């Protein structure tokens, strides 16, 4: 790009009468569009100017709030700066005291506060473009590019690039070596577009591009690349497209002088691929048979079908995206790119969940703003000068791309031309000379403007340029020409800065950051050719977005190298995706898988209910002897004991006509007690009950107690249950096979505590059902999905073969956590599940629970992360010692990581706490792993529940069952997606059941007390 100075430069040209009206003869011809007109930006009222005015030249004088210091004129000041103050110090822009040149320059000057308004409008339009509801009407289109990653330096291979330029086609072959992309090799060739092809048939255009590819490869391919059987191609297509995949894009509209027929509305990638296939070249077999080399010569379309595999268009992008990718090549993360060229555009990495026009919700995605159309809805009408209006009217698309027409180098020379026309009409320039040349479009090019602005001290150069186009300027005309060019180009840079500020503030806000530091890749004719562009962009964007710090990176061939990088990253991610799918594939269940689980659960339920088959069933289907739910007549004080994990609770529940009130306290069970003797465990429990009753002044009362015991039991009465096995880390000796109610009573006797009477034993699942049944009579199912998992439901007594009697219903405690212990679910167990199972205290048992419950999901995720790290899919394959620690990854992390809208920065913070050095891409993949594991858990839970509700429906002989599930457990309650995934899957698997889910309010506590209350009521009724 050449060197570009960022030093402050003087505002205007050499000393002269630039601020006084000319008294000479009139111009050769006057333009009636400008004679007598106000030159302010708005036809109604131009903004009142103040020292806050920003044109890009006097930024260092102002601060964000407009409290800038304005220097006073004195005899030692540069006359050009003096003119600037005269022209900006406020007052009516149409004042009779101002000169035509002052009015013209003032109309191109924008107050800082107006730029703040412009920035706000840009952000509003960006949000419209991202929203699914308003996208179709947004002027800032915010088009998804499906580019979700930037280079990481490992990319390697040969990549083709084809760039469609305004008058040329450029083809490149880029070779990357996986060395951090520090030394890519490139070969390229440029082909001129044939005359008229940009206005002809689209098929002819794409055929020509394909011919360029074929010719380029035949001339440049070396023997090394001849061995390749596949060459990926990136297509740089600088027109507005609706992209639905990285390699699928529908052209929305032509611009930049193109208007080929039969392309708008079509997939341009498909059109190019078809053309390339038609112009394929011979392979090595063809060479051996005299074909002249693999890529030598051109073949007719008859040979294409067998050769289309050689070149595949894998990515489409515009030059802006390529610029961003190029600036990410040398170890610097670049997340914003801006092209300041004949057209103007910007792209940035947005949070993917905000891009509502795509289905992608994880990570980030590059969004192509297409901000050239900003203002087409009139948002910028007060900034549009008569000069801009004239340029727009003479363009091929009046009323469209209003922003681009004020900043694109294709239009800046035209704006200058119309300013000169106006000043000539006002007899302020070129008086008494022939100015007919000013009527010619294109008389001033961007090259002219650059030479004028960048040679500030040379009036001679300005005079040479003006004379070369056919004008006869005076020295004063030359000075004024410099002022006009600087104002036009300075305004263009300022508008670029304002748009950039909008994007930076949006990124900072949506990432939940207090401040943002970001690299911005920039490329284009205005950036390269205007020496003050970078200074203005940095200064103005800093004024408008003080919370953001942008570092400008000069892009090197963004549309070439950058396109190769997009293609390379796409292939790297595709390879990574295949590897990730290989790892996670076994955990992803199809509907057929779930239907099979549902069927197996139903079979095991029937076996568990059968008297003969019960002993061998993995789902024990234990009778609870709970046959009724509360009827509203229960009253009094009841104790409840909730034992189901490392913590347990003691409660007093008071039931009155006014409702239920409760008081409780949580007690800890030390690990040594959990895994010690049974006497020690139950003595500890009685000690805690005594402590609680003492604090509640209940020691003197004999209160009925409901005992929630959340472990597999064979219940032989409401107050008698034999422990079948310990779970959840318990292994106290002398308890399995014993009556746990009696163990509690024996401990009370040892402690001589008489303040309680155990009347009912229930597990947490039954308690949950009873608690919800107090509020909803239709609640006949209890579900727990927390540390462990279980379900219960009201079964017809006629189906319960393990209990005498056929009348009524009884709550069945399924103990479904052991589902699969007989091997029926072995086909679902992955390598990760087996490793987790083997490291538990009960390997081979509670198999279903180990796929679902919160106690195990975090450990499953950890095992997956270990394997992915070994496969170099995470953390760049670097060893992570802490990741080798069992149970280091808690299930609560799944809930946090999967929160919708959680910024990746927050995920990274979580991983850093685990001493995991996670990149942006690691965070995205980490979220996917967590989602896969939790989704499988929810789906399996739903499959089991589908078996339950379908059995209830069939047993009751109804076509449609309406039932409520009382549900409790931290995984169900706290995980952001679990409940929804469960309910959606259940609806799919059991479409004839209308299932409502009701969150339990302390089911294991209140529910146990209600069971005790119902039992107490029944006992008193018998008396």
Question: Catalytic positions, please?
Answer: 649, 710, 764
Which residues are registered as beta bridge partners of 791? 783
The residues, any chain, with a CB within 8 Å of residue 54's CB and separated by 6 or more, are 62, 109, 110, 111, 112, 115, 494, 540, 543
Half-sphere exposure of 425 (CA within 13 A, CB side): 19
- What are the tokens at 760? 């009912």
Q: How far apart are CA 69 and CA 84, in angstroms?
A: 14
* 386, containing H or E segment: helix 386-394
Rounded-to-integer distance, Cα 481 and Cα 459, Å: 10
Retrieve residue 777's tokens. 């009579």
Task: Look at residues 339, 346, 280 and name the one whose alpha carbon lies nearest to residue 145.
Answer: 346
Determine the Cα–Cα distance for residues 187 and 172; give it in Å rounded to an integer: 6
Asked whether the beta carbons of 514 and 557 are under 8 A apart, the reply is no
Nearest to 867 by CA among 589, 588, 583, 586: 583
C-alpha 342/C-alpha 164 separation (Å) is 14
CA–CA separation, 255 and 370 (whole Å): 12
Q: Strand 185-192 and strand 168-177: pairing?
A: antiparallel
Residue 576: count other Cβ atoms within 10 Å of its Cβ.
16
What is the rounded CA–CA span in Å between residue 491 and residue 778?
70
Both tokens assigned to 452: 């004028």
Sign of CA dihedral 384, 385, 390, 391: negative
Measured CA to CA, the distance from residue 547 to residue 538 in angstroms comes to 13
Beta carbons of 662 and 1006 less than 8 angstroms apart: yes
Closest Cα to residue 498, out of 325, 371, 348, 354? 371
Which tokens is 236 given?
């740089």
Residues 6+ apart with CB under 8 A from 152: 572, 876, 919, 921
C-alpha dihedral, 567 to 573 to 578 to 582, nearest 10°: 170
Alpha carbons 777 and 772: distance in angstroms, whole number: 8
Q: Where are the beta strands (DSSP E) in 178-229?
A: 185-192
Q: What is the CA 998 to chain-centroid distance, rounded?
A: 32
- Give the strands of the sheet with 636-643, arranged side by side: 659-668, 647-656, 636-643, 703-709, 756-762
Beta strands in 107-184 (DSSP E): 110-111, 143-144, 156-164, 168-177
Cβ–Cβ under 8 Å, residues 553 and 522: yes
Q: Are 889 and 859 in contact (CB under 8 A)?
A: yes
State both tokens at 488: 């036009």
Paired tokens of 823? 């091997």
CA distance 774 to 771: 5
């Amino acid at each position: 790009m050449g060197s570009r100075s960022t030093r402050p430069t003087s505002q205007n040209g050499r000393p002269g009468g630039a601020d006084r009206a000319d008294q000479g003869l009139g111009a050769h011809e006057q333009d009636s569009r400008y004679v007598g007109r106000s030159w302010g930006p708005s036809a109604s009222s131009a903004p009142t100017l103040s020292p806050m005015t920003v044109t890009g030249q006097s930024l260092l004088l102002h601060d964000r709030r407009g409290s800038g210091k304005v220097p006073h004129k004195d005899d030692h000041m540069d006359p050009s700066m003096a003119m600037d103050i005269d022209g900006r110090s406020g007052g009516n822009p149409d004042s009779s005291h101002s000169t035509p040149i002052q009015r013209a320059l003032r109309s191109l000057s924008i107050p800082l506060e107006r730029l703040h308004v412009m920035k706000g409008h840009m952000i509003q339009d960006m949000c419209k473009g991202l929203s699914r509801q308003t996208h179709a009407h947004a002027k800032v289109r915010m088009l998804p590019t499906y580019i979700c990653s930037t280079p990481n330096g490992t990319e390697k291979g040969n990549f083709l690039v084809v760039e469609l330029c305004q008058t040329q086609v450029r083809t490149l072959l880029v070779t990357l070596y996986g060395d951090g992309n520090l030394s890519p090799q490139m070969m390229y060739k440029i082909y001129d577009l044939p005359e008229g092809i940009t206005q002809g048939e689209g098929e002819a255009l794409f055929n020509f591009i394909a011919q360029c590819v074929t010719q380029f490869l035949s001339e440049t391919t070396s023997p090394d690349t001849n061995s390749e059987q596949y060459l990926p191609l990136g297509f740089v297509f600088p027109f507005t497209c609706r992209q639905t995949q990285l390699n699928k894009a529908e052209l929305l509209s032509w611009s930049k002088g193109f208007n080929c027929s039969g392309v708008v509305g079509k997939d341009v990638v498909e059109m190019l691929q078809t053309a390339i296939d038609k112009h394929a070249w011979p392979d090595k077999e063809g060479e051996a048979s005299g074909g002249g080399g693999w890529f030598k010569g051109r073949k007719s379309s008859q040979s294409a079908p067998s050769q289309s595999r050689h070149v595949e268009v894998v990515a489409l992008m515009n030059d802006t995206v390529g610029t961003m990718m190029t600036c990410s090549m040398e170890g610097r993360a670049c997340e914003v790119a801006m092209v300041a060229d004949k057209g103007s555009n910007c792209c940035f990495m947005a949070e993917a969940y905000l891009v509502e026009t795509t289905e992608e919700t994880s990570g980030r995605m590059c969004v192509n703003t297409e901000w050239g159309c900003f203002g087409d809805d009139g948002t910028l009408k007060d900034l549009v000068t008569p000069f801009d209006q004239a340029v727009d009217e003479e363009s091929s698309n009046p009323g469209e791309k209003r922003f681009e027409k004020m900043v694109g180098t294709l239009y800046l020379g035209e704006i200058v031309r119309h300013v000169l026309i106006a000043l000539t009409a006002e007899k302020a320039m070129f008086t008494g000379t022939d100015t007919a040349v000013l009527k010619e479009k294109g008389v001033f090019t961007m090259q002219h403007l650059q030479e004028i602005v960048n040679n500030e001290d040379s009036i001679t150069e300005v005079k040479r340029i003006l004379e070369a186009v056919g004008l006869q300027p005076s020295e004063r005309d030359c000075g004024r020409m410099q002022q006009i060019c600087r104002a036009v180009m300075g305004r263009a840079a300022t508008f670029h800065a304002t748009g950039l500020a909008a994007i930076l503030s949006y990124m900072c806000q949506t990432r939940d950051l207090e401040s943002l530091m970001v690299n911005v890749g920039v490329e284009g004719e205005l950036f390269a050719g205007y020496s003050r562009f970078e200074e203005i962009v940095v200064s103005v964007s800093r004024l408008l977005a003080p919370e953001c710090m942008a570092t400008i990176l000069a892009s090197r061939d963004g549309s070439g190298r950058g396109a190769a990088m997009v293609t390379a990253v796409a292939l790297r991610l595709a390879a990574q995706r295949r590897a990730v799918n290989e790892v996670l594939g076994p955990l992803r269940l199809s509907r057929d898988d779930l239907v099979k689980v549902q069927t197996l659960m139903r079979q095991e339920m029937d076996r568990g209910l059968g008297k003969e088959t019960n002993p061998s069933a993995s789902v024990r289907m234990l009778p609870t002897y709970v046959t009724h739910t509360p009827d509203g007549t229960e009253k009094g004080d009841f104790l409840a004991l909730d034992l189901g994990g490392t913590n347990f609770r003691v409660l007093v529940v008071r039931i009155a006509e006014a409702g239920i009130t409760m008081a409780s306290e949580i007690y800890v069970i030390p690990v040594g007690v959990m895994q010690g003797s049974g006497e020690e465990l139950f003595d500890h429990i009685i000690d805690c009950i005594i402590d609680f009753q003492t604090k509640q002044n209940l020691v003197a009362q004999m209160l009925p107690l409901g005992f929630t015991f959340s472990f597999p039991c064979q219940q032989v009465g409401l107050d008698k249950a034999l422990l079948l096995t310990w779970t959840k880390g318990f292994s106290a000796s002398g308890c399995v096979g014993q009556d746990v109610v009696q163990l509690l009573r024996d401990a009370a006797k040892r402690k001589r505590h008489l303040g309680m009477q155990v009347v009912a034993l229930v597990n947490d699942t039954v308690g949950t059902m009873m608690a919800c049944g107090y509020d909803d009579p239709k609640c006949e199912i209890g579900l727990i999905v927390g540390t462990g998992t279980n379900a219960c439901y009201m079964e017809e007594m006629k189906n319960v073969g393990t209990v005498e009697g056929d009348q009524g219903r009884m709550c069945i405690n399924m103990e479904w956590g052991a589902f699969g212990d007989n091997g029926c679910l072995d086909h679902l167990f992955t390598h990760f599940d087996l490793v987790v199972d083997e490291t538990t205290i009960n390997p081979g048992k509670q198999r279903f629970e180990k796929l679902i419950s919160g106690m195990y999901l975090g450990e499953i995720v950890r095992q997956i992360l270990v394997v992915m790290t070994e496969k170099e899919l995470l953390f760049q394959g670097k060893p992570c010692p802490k990741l080798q620690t069992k149970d280091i990854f808690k299930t609560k992390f799944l809930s946090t990581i999967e929160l919708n809208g959680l910024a990746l920065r927050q995920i990274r913070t979580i991983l850093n706490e685990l001493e995991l050095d996670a990149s942006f891409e690691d965070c995205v993949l980490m979220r996917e792993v967590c989602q896969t594991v939790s989704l499988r858990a929810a789906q399996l839970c739903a499959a089991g529940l589908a078996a339950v509700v379908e059995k209830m429906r069939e047993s009751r002989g109804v076509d449609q069952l309406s039932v409520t599930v009382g549900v409790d457990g931290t995984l169900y309650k706290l995980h952001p997606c679990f409940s929804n995934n469960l309910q959606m899957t259940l609806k799919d698997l059991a479409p004839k059941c209308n299932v409502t889910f009701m969150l339990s309010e302390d089911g294991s506590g209140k529910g146990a007390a209600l069971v005790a209350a119902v039992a107490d009521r029944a006992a008193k009724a018998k008396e």
